[in-house]
Amino acid sequence: MERLELTELADLLREAAGEDQAAVLDENSLDTPFAELGYDSLALLQVSGIVERDHDVLLDEEALAEAQTPRQYLDLVDRALAARAAA
């Protein structure tokens, strides 16, 4: 099953926020809110658009608004990918 990996999310966020703004995103920061990591809603919106395009999946906007940490975001994307694969 296809998954969005933490390293891919980190790369996408770094590109969206800019190298200077990027915080380290690793296993230790999975439950840290994006805001505390320095990523705003615009960066997440950009990343979501790229994920939808590159992985051919539609992400639920309400669920996206509730995904406040990298772990929650990855879980959301992985559920969408699993649903697409099951269809």
Kindly tell me the number of DSSP H helices and DSSP E strands found in the chain: 5, 0
Residue 1 belongs to some domain of the structure: no
Decide if 81 contacts 2 (C-beta within 8 A): yes
State the total domains in the chain. 1
Per-residue confidence (pLDDT) for residue 72, from 0 to 100: 98
Could you tell me the CATH number of the domain that includes residue 66?
1.10.1200.10
The tens digit of pLDDT for each residue in 21-71 reads: 557 789 999 999 999 998 999 999 999 999 999 999 999 999 999 999 999
Residue 87: per-residue pLDDT: 84
Q: What is the pLDDT of residue 24?
A: 77
Q: What is the DSSP string of 28-59?
A: GGTTS-HHHHT--HHHHHHHHHHHHHHHT---
**Distance from CA of residue 63 to its chain's centroid?**
12
Range of the domain at 37: 6-86
pTM metric for this prediction: 0.91
The reply to whether 71 falls in a domain is yes
